[in-house]
Amino acid sequence: MFPSLQVCVIVSVCLTCLLPQCVHCSGCKNPPPAKNFTNSRYYGLWYEIGKIQTAGGAFFEKDCVCTTIDVKPLSNSDVRGDASVLNSCRKKTPQGTFLNATGKLSDESPAGKWKEGFAWFAPKVDYTIIALDEDYAVEYDCGTTLGFTNYCIHILSRKPTQSPEVTQKLLTFAESLGLNTENLKYVQTLQTGCW
């Protein structure tokens, strides 16, 4: 009766399921956590300086500016290393509405490597801190769902700024571990006008 509508629905359903699949087929890497990693050094507020991210990764981060993460040990479970991560950002502009999502880090093994989950129905991803210092951290997360892989490399700083030399050093390090399997571009996160 409405053939064009039917075709439209079928085409959009197929596009939705086909599009991401064969773009991201390379699988996750298993890098070691930072040598001097300790949980307490990672706790607290971090500003995202930039990231390398596949299109299907963390869809809520798509419009983010002024992005921060706040890592806190979960009470009663410090021994196991479980932690909460508040991912917070503004939508599109520093005055935009908050887009917040709290994830949970669990199953820490070894120190600096967790599973991260956002909701009981969503698949967990591997979450690894590959570099850590007083001023900076690099976090790599990666998951494979229905045969396709999404990853993100986050460059983090204790301040909303980072010297370009440090950023470059951290990116070179991440590349040296072979984490950017799809040769994606580094994208800087807007942090000016936010704080």
Using CB under 6 A as the binding rule, whether residue 102 contacts ligand NAG is answered as no
Among 63, 107, 108, 133, binds ligand NAG (CB under 6 A): 133
In the region spanning residues 38 to 77, those forming contacts with ligand NAG, defined by CB under 6 A, are: 68
Q: How many CB atoms lie within 10 A of CB 47?
A: 20
Using CB under 6 A as the binding rule, whether residue 176 contacts ligand NAG is answered as no
Using CB under 6 A as the binding rule, whether residue 162 contacts ligand NAG is answered as no
Among 6, 36, 188, 192, binds ligand NAG (CB under 6 A): 36
**Burial call 154-185: b when 16+ CB within 10 Å, e when fewer:** bbbbeebebeeeebeebbeebeebebbbeebe
Q: Where are the beta strands (DSSP E) in 107-177?
A: 113-117, 125-132, 136-145, 148-157
Using CB under 6 A as the binding rule, whether residue 109 contacts ligand NAG is answered as no
Binding residues vs ligand NAG (CB under 6 A):
36, 68, 88, 98, 100, 133-134
